[in-house]
Amino acid sequence: MRIAILLYDGMTALDAIGPYDVLRQVPGAEVLFVGDGAGVKRTEEQPLGLVADRTLAEVPHADILVVPGGFGNERVMREPPTLDWIRRLHTTTQWTTSVCTGSLILAAAGLLHGLRATTHWASLERLRDFGAEPVAERVVVQGKIITAAGVSAGIDMALRLVARVAGDDMARGIQLGIEYDPAPPFDAGSPRKAPEHVVQLVRQAVEFKRERYRSSAA
């Protein structure tokens, strides 16, 4: 099973690594990190780099595609070669997936028109601009397309995907192996639960960073 994970400058690390650490454990899995060029891709404003071993041209097909999010998606959404690659790969996949604002990249490629989809809560309404129906759910499955909400939801998405391709026991075993048993210190993981002043602070920070990346991509 060939799994292609798109990497790009400005992505969120956990969007890619969360699903990777789950999906790599599926028997027979071959995970490929793919970029518009081979080499290190830097995550958002951090020094952390992830390495794309393959270029888009070197990966013409895959069984599973994972598209992570991050503020760098503002640039990727305007890159025809990457969007063309996503469209072509989608014709070969069993599953096409995204994490966080990676769904906006899928939407920009035209894959979510008329479909229910999710993304990070602060970007949810942007899906309407591409003809998708925003859904405030952790994971949304529409045919062979699976979209996950913000960042940590990528782990949930990947475990659900494992259950579909390798069975529930395999998914349970991987979940146990990575001890994915969340017990957060605060019940503030969604805008419905967090204090309003915290929601506004995060919303302002997200918008500030988004505009900065959007300006640099213009």
Check which CATH number belongs to the domain holding 114 and give it: 3.40.50.880
17-66 pLDDT per residue, tens: 999 999 999 999 999 999 999 999 999 987 899 999 999 999 999 999 99
134-164 pLDDT per residue, tens: 999 999 999 999 999 999 999 999 999 999 9
Active site residue 47: no
The confidence band for 9, taking pLDDT boundaries of 50, 70 and 90, is very high
Average pLDDT over residues 125-142: 98
Residue count (the chain)? 218
What burial class does residue 188 get, using C-beta atoms within 10 Å of its C-beta: 0-12 exposed, 13-18 middle, 19+ buried? middle
In a domain, 76, yes or no: yes
In a domain, 209, yes or no: no
Mean pLDDT (the chain, rounded)? 96
Sequence-distant (≥ 6) Cβ neighbours of residue 94 within 8 angstroms: 63, 64, 144, 165
- Domain extent, residue 91, equals 2-184
Average pLDDT over residues 10-23: 98
Rounded-to-integer distance, Cα 11 and Cα 143, Å = 26
Q: What's the number of domains the chain is made of?
A: 1
Of 23, 50, 52, 100, the catalytic one is 100
Percent of the chain past pLDDT 70, that is, above it, reads 99
